[in-house]
């Protein structure tokens, strides 16, 4: 008689008095364990297949010992890169001895209750600091700034205002420029005047 049973996330084909190694279980050495996820049973005459598990069927076993499997070497290399990594791994295992295969009438295995974590103490909410009242000096500064604005505007306008036209230096002008200036001033007979005469007429 044999059965297909799920133990610690893996499926095994087991028979009575068979030893097998499974992923580490939390049970102590010498304790008895029962597995109710039996997917197939064969008693030599009849094969029973579950959907997915067979109700009432179970496999009882005894925890013999906890041990580690053989070391597995994991080596990684990238050529021409100088990259080499070597790691070893030993899987934590549990050795079981199958004592009995129950075809029907087995009690379902109760799930082990998980230890509930104690609720963390609530942190005291720190009161937010109230904003400090605005100082009276800020209001005074604002008023002073508003009063200073017209003065600044007047000073800017004074700077922008064109400076008074200074008296032109006619001695540095050419005869053509002097004649043009005389024409603008409305001096008569400027066309026949010499440079000195033009300067004298313009300076009047």
Gap between the Cα atoms of 117 and 143, Å rounded: 63
Q: Which pLDDT value is given to residue 160?
A: 54
pTM given for the model: 0.50
Examine the pLDDT at 59 and tell me if it is beyond 90.
Answer: yes
Contacts of 86 (CB under 8 A, 6+ apart): 73, 74, 75, 76
- What is the tens place of the pLDDT at every residue in 93-144? 999 999 999 988 767 766 666 656 666 666 655 545 555 555 555 555 655 5
Contacts of 190 (CB under 8 A, 6+ apart): 179, 182, 183, 198, 201
pLDDT at position 140:
59
Mean pLDDT of 42-52: 91
184 or 91, greater pLDDT: 91
Antiparallel, parallel or unpaired: β 10-15 and 38-42 = unpaired
Q: Do residues 199 and 174 lie in contact, with contact meaning Cβ atoms separated by under 8 Å? A: no
Out of 67-71, 101-105, 185-189, pick the least confident: 185-189
Give the model's confidence band at 161: pLDDT under 50 very low, under 70 low, under 90 confident, else very high.
very low
Residue for token digits 């009438």? 105
Is residue 181 within 8 Å of residue 165, measured between CB atoms? no
Residue 101 buriedness (CB in 10 A; 0-12 / 13-18 / 19+): buried
């Amino acid at each position: 008689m044999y059965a297909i049973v799920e133990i610690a996330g893996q499926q095994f084909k087991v028979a009575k008095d068979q030893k097998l190694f499974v992923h580490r279980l939390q049970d102590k050495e010498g304790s008895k364990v029962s597995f109710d996820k039996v997917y197939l049973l064969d008693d030599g005459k009849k094969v029973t297949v579950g959907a997915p598990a067979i109700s009432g069927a179970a496999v009882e076993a005894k925890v013999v010992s906890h041990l580690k499997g053989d070391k597995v070497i994991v080596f990684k290399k990238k050529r021409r890169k100088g990259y080499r990594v070597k790691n070893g791994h030993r899987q934590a295992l549990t050795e079981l001895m199958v004592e009995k295969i129950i075809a029907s009438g087995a009690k379902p295995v109760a799930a082990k209750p998980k230890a509930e974590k104690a609720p963390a103490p609530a942190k005291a909410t720190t009161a937010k600091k109230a904003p400090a009242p605005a100082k009276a000096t800020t209001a005074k500064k604002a008023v002073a700034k508003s009063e200073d604005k017209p003065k600044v505007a007047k000073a800017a306008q004074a700077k922008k205002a064109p400076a008074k036209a200074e008296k032109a230096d006619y001695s540095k002008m050419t005869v053509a420029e002097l004649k043009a200036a005389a024409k603008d001033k409305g001096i008569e007979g400027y066309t026949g005047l010499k440079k000195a005469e033009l300067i004298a007429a313009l300076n009047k």
